[in-house]
Chain A
Amino acid sequence: MTSYVLRRLGVSLLILLGASFLVYQLVALSGDPLAEFRESNRPNKDALMAQRSALLNLDVPAPVRYFLWLGGAVKCVVPGQCDLGRTLQGQPVTQALGSAIPSTLQLVAVATVLAIVVGIAIGIVTALRQYSALDYGVTFLTFLFFSLPVFWVAVLLKEFGAIRFNNFLADPSVPIATVVVVGLVSGLVWAVIVGGDLRRRLITFAVATVAAGGVLWYLGATQWFRYPGLGPALVAVTGVGIAVGLSALIAGSQNRRALYASLVTVALALVAMFALRPLLDRATLPLILLLGLLAVGAGVLVGYLFGGYDRRQSMRVAGLTSFLVAGLVMLDRFMIAWPSYFTAVRGRPVATIGSETPGLSGDFWVHGLDKYTHLVLPTLALMLISLASYTRYSRASMLEVMGQDYVRTARAKGLPERVVVVRHAFRNALIPLATIVAYDIGGLLGGAVITENVFSFKGMGALFINGLTHQDPNPVMGTFLVVGITAVVFNLLADLAYSALDPRVRVKA
């Protein structure tokens, strides 16, 4: 095993060396760093050219220059000694990378995590209901999402998600026609999702249409979009829904202990919502993280105390419920901060470019809202596209597992369908997905070049593409190095994870 890992790492190192040499030559071929001076008629033109030549070692031919760069890059093995050259503005590349990596991670990580969770959920459900209207609808949508050019989606999102939505927020009244259309669409969607025979579909359609239309009308009439909030009642109702749903899914509806445990955590969360209000007003990031951990811990503890015939199940259900309800409480607090954020940005909350509003003053909640309103559009654009592939993968994987003999055995021995799906099929369907997820995470740092470009987001992708278009070789090489190394490492991890999760696969030692 160790020898396999070492051998793979050795080979990867050689590949990285070869590829970085090639990339360096290509970068040298992709433009002339002196071009901007050649055509200028500034008096100190020659001095500027000489200065830049000295900065980039342009008097050395590119194949040899690579080794000068490599000499600096190799020092990165020793912490603090890293030398990846400087950008044209004279900033060290390591410093530029240091600020680009966190902002890229912020953007891409949320989109990827959401895409994975939602994609797998949709894929599993469509696999369980293969060849239903839901399955066909989702299949068509995933193909459509595959086919969308991300820059096109991004421009559409900017127009409809930001500009027109902001216009709507300036005067948040919902016309009756919109209420009817939204109601009908949601009725249709729910009828397809719930399925069943014609009668059940019609009932679902009617209920969902009336409910969605009514809620929308109510929200419009009460100026909710201007002064949003959940309030304790809505948190309680949603929390109970989460508790019942999760315990039915994970523990089964016969396991009363798990249900009671999660209901108690919902009650605790409601108490905490009032008790912690003064604390939340002065919130900071560490405090929120601490409270989140405490919430999960409290949930697990409640689950432990309730026990039941499967103690771990109760703990899992209660912990998860507690986490989600804590999220709801957070959401409510963010909504309370909304009006003050709304006036702070002069009524244009959803941003189309950048990663934060410059010079914004406010507490933790206002800054949080600012960050999220900047992230929401690029995240949506990225999510839509990767969501499609996760849905397809998990659907295919689940279908494959559902046809296995052990699933038939599980059914034959009389297990309820929920246990067959959740315990036997779902977990095994995740195995091939683990490798895909690992590869994707390996590629995360590369950022989303086009998305970052469209939304003027300063991340790795922007660093790379700006370097390319401004004939600035060092940042391009820097991003390439970071991306290449993470890709290689995560490829190795993916292979190891696969063999660890599925013992039938062995690595060649």
Chain B
Amino acid sequence: MSSTTQTDERESREVPGELRGMSQGALVRKRFLGHTGAIVSLVLLVLVVLLALTSVGVGPIPGWWQYRWTDTPVLQNGGRPTLQLFPFSLGEHPFGQDTVGRDYFAMTMRGTQISLAITFMVGMISALIGVVFGAASGYFRGWIEAVLMRLTDMVIIIPVLLIGAVIAYNADGGVLVLGVLLGLTTWTGMARLVRGDFLSLREREFVDAARLAGASDARIIFRHILPNAVGVITVNATLLMSSAILLETALSYLGMGVRAPDTSLGLLISANQAAFSTRPWLFWFPGLFIVLICLCINFIGDGLRDAFDPRQRKVSLRRMKESGPGRPDAAGAAPAVAAPDRTDGQPRSGPVGSVDGA
């Protein structure tokens, strides 16, 4: 990451000439590409997704791996993993075999597929609902805001585990049902953040100007305000996904999510935790994949935040002290998790926030 500091040092000195004539999108892309951690994570995440999709195949399309997650080949060598790093070789069962001989690589890949699918679905659905609710209540205010925000308050205190239990009893733990229902309960943070953003953006001059020019509400929302809120939305959608994968694995772990014969990373850990002392690899591999995916998403979210928020340009305190005058940017990442839901709906609006949107 130290290289980022150097590029940024260069960048901040050459800013005026270099940035002239760059569009907002190009600026964001440039800053994001300069974030080493985020780029490495993005590449890793893409590799994981590709590996999970191609190895055991999707639906009817077969993958390149010789086993499927339901096959039960003969147990070899006590099911020990055959993966070798130096020299690299996969062997017969790179992640070993479980107690009945199923190939654990195929199972882990299938679990990764399912967990990723649910993660993306939860992310998309809750981002969509959150943006719609937040935008409507922040822009129109009045009774729409009152109703939507009270609804948000209500959904917040409904325990997610309860939703899991309802799914577990009424549906067969299908990916689609799980993704949709979890998406329907996790949008609250996004709604509050977007509302907070809309509340401040709607008072800005460019909105007044658009309204004077005769733009309709829809046009103002979609063409003028939403593009300005896209940073907050993207960053939070990313972080939503990183919490969604933990949520999905936790539910599956408690037996309320994905169920056998299908599998997910949480279910694999839950099924094999008792075997830790005898077959530790059954426990390690799915856990490592969860951590890897979640870590990548978190770093990407951090990179996106740095890219979208121009205040976050990196300026070291020491340099600031030495160089004397100059706007000391409150740099550094804001918290990597979505701000806890504040009832005032104006998260992290700096010290001069106002309670209850006053």
By a CB distance below 8 angstroms, the chain B residues around A128 are: 317
Q: How far is the CB of B34 from chain A (nearest CB, A)?
A: 14
By a CB distance below 8 angstroms, the chain A residues around B273 are: 151, 155
Interface segment among B56-64, B199-207, B332-340: the answer is B332-340
By a CB distance below 8 angstroms, the chain A residues around B357 are: 508
A476 at the interface (CB under 8 A from B): yes
Interface segment among B70-78, B127-135, B214-222, B323-331: the answer is B323-331
- With A476-B162, A502-B351 in contact, do A440 and B340 touch (Cβ < 8 Å)? yes
Interface segment among B25-33, B84-92, B152-160, B230-238: the answer is B152-160
Contact between chains at B161 and A464 (CB < 8 Å): yes
By a CB distance below 8 angstroms, the chain B residues around A30 are: 162, 165-166, 168-169
Contact between chains at A163 and B277 (CB < 8 Å): yes
Contact between chains at B290 and A506 (CB < 8 Å): no
By a CB distance below 8 angstroms, the chain A residues around B153 are: 12, 15
Contact between chains at B332 and A495 (CB < 8 Å): no
A166 at the interface (CB under 8 A from B): no
Contact between chains at A505 and B352 (CB < 8 Å): yes
In A425-475, the 8 Å CB interface with B consists of 428, 431-432, 435-436, 439-440, 446, 449-450, 453, 464-465, 468-469
Alpha-carbon distance between A452 and B111 when the two chains are bound, in angstroms = 25
Interface segment among A291-299, A332-340, A390-398: the answer is A390-398
- With A131-B314, A143-B302, A449-B161 in contact, do A29 and B291 touch (Cβ < 8 Å)? no
- With A11-B150, A399-B330, A502-B351 in contact, do A152 and B287 touch (Cβ < 8 Å)? yes
A395-423 contact mask (Cβ, 8 Å, vs B): 1 or 0: 11001101100001001000000000000
Contact between chains at A505 and B354 (CB < 8 Å): yes
Interface segment among A19-27, A181-189, A249-257: the answer is A19-27
A504 at the interface (CB under 8 A from B): yes
By a CB distance below 8 angstroms, the chain B residues around A378 are: none
Alpha-carbon distance between A151 and B295 when the two chains are bound, in angstroms = 17
- With A11-B150, A149-B250 in contact, do A155 and B356 touch (Cβ < 8 Å)? no
Contact between chains at B355 and A495 (CB < 8 Å): yes
Interface segment among B14-22, B172-180, B342-350: the answer is B342-350
Q: How far is the CB of B206 from chain A (nearest CB, A)?
A: 26
Contact between chains at B333 and A147 (CB < 8 Å): no
Alpha-carbon distance between A487 and B276 when the two chains are bound, in angstroms = 37
Contact between chains at B287 and A19 (CB < 8 Å): no
A-B contact count (CB 8 A): 196
* Chain B, residue nearest A408 (CB): B328
B136 at the interface (CB under 8 A from A): no
- With A431-B351, A495-B355 in contact, do A399 and B298 touch (Cβ < 8 Å)? no
Q: How far is the CB of A69 from chain B (nearest CB, A)?
A: 16
In B249-303, the 8 Å CB interface with A consists of 249-250, 253-255, 266, 269-270, 273, 276-277, 283, 287, 290-291, 294-295, 298-299, 302
Alpha-carbon distance between A278 and B335 when the two chains are bound, in angstroms = 50
Contact between chains at A395 and B332 (CB < 8 Å): yes
B83 at the interface (CB under 8 A from A): no
Alpha-carbon distance between A31 and B150 when the two chains are bound, in angstroms = 28
B301-313 contact mask (Cβ, 8 Å, vs A): 1 or 0: 0100000000000
Contact between chains at B355 and A505 (CB < 8 Å): yes
Alpha-carbon distance between A207 and B322 when the two chains are bound, in angstroms = 32
By a CB distance below 8 angstroms, the chain B residues around A136 are: 1-2
Alpha-carbon distance between A27 and B166 when the two chains are bound, in angstroms = 7
* Chain A, residue nearest B356 (CB): A508
- With A26-B163, A507-B355 in contact, do A130 and B1 touch (Cβ < 8 Å)? no
Contact between chains at A29 and B332 (CB < 8 Å): no
Contact between chains at A507 and B356 (CB < 8 Å): yes
Q: How far is the CB of A471 from chain B (nearest CB, A)?
A: 8
B316 at the interface (CB under 8 A from A): yes
By a CB distance below 8 angstroms, the chain B residues around A431 are: 351
By a CB distance below 8 angstroms, the chain B residues around A508 are: 354-358
By a CB distance below 8 angstroms, the chain A residues around B283 are: 152, 155
By a CB distance below 8 angstroms, the chain A residues around B358 are: 506-508
Contact between chains at A14 and B150 (CB < 8 Å): yes
Contact between chains at B335 and A396 (CB < 8 Å): yes
Contact between chains at B242 and A484 (CB < 8 Å): no
Contact between chains at A450 and B250 (CB < 8 Å): yes
Q: How far is the CB of A392 from chain B (nearest CB, A)?
A: 4
Alpha-carbon distance between A32 and B291 when the two chains are bound, in angstroms = 36
Q: How far is the CB of B191 from chain A (nearest CB, A)?
A: 15
* Chain B, residue nearest A479 (CB): B159
A321 at the interface (CB under 8 A from B): no
Q: How far is the CB of B49 from chain A (nearest CB, A)?
A: 17
A341 at the interface (CB under 8 A from B): no
- With A15-B150, A23-B162 in contact, do A432 and B351 touch (Cβ < 8 Å)? yes
Q: How far is the CB of B297 from chain A (nearest CB, A)?
A: 8
By a CB distance below 8 angstroms, the chain A residues around B316 are: 130-131
A498 at the interface (CB under 8 A from B): yes
B24 at the interface (CB under 8 A from A): no
A36-65 contact mask (Cβ, 8 Å, vs B): 1 or 0: 000000000000000000000000000000
A304 at the interface (CB under 8 A from B): no
A342 at the interface (CB under 8 A from B): no
By a CB distance below 8 angstroms, the chain B residues around A147 are: 242, 246, 290-291, 294-295, 298
Alpha-carbon distance between A211 and B159 when the two chains are bound, in angstroms = 49
B23 at the interface (CB under 8 A from A): no
Contact between chains at B337 and A15 (CB < 8 Å): no
Alpha-carbon distance between A393 and B253 when the two chains are bound, in angstroms = 29
A258 at the interface (CB under 8 A from B): no
Alpha-carbon distance between A403 and B283 when the two chains are bound, in angstroms = 46
A18 at the interface (CB under 8 A from B): yes
A127 at the interface (CB under 8 A from B): yes
By a CB distance below 8 angstroms, the chain B residues around A432 are: 348, 351
Alpha-carbon distance between A150 and B270 when the two chains are bound, in angstroms = 12
Alpha-carbon distance between A396 and B283 when the two chains are bound, in angstroms = 35
Contact between chains at B161 and A402 (CB < 8 Å): no
Contact between chains at A468 and B356 (CB < 8 Å): no
Contact between chains at A504 and B250 (CB < 8 Å): no
Contact between chains at A26 and B162 (CB < 8 Å): yes
A373 at the interface (CB under 8 A from B): no
By a CB distance below 8 angstroms, the chain B residues around A27 are: 162
Contact between chains at B340 and A436 (CB < 8 Å): yes
Contact between chains at B249 and A146 (CB < 8 Å): no
By a CB distance below 8 angstroms, the chain A residues around B228 are: none
* Chain B, residue nearest A128 (CB): B317
- With A130-B332, A480-B159 in contact, do A450 and B254 touch (Cβ < 8 Å)? yes
Give 9 CB contacts A-B under 8 Å: A8-B356, A14-B150, A15-B153, A19-B158, A30-B166, A144-B291, A468-B165, A488-B157, A508-B357
Query: Which A residues fall within an 8 A CB radius of B?
Result: 4, 8, 11-12, 14-16, 18-19, 22-23, 26-27, 29-32, 127-128, 130-131, 136, 139, 142-144, 146-152, 155, 159, 163, 389, 392-393, 395-396, 399-400, 402-403, 408, 411, 428, 431-432, 435-436, 439-440, 446, 449-450, 453, 464-465, 468-469, 476, 480, 483-484, 487-488, 491-492, 494-495, 498-499, 502, 504-508
Instruction: List 11 other contacts, CB 8 Å, given A147-B246, A504-B352, A507-B356.
Output: A14-B150, A31-B165, A142-B336, A149-B253, A151-B250, A152-B269, A392-B333, A393-B335, A428-B351, A483-B159, A506-B354
Top 5 A-B pairs, shortest CB-CB distance: A147-B294, A508-B358, A30-B165, A403-B328, A400-B330
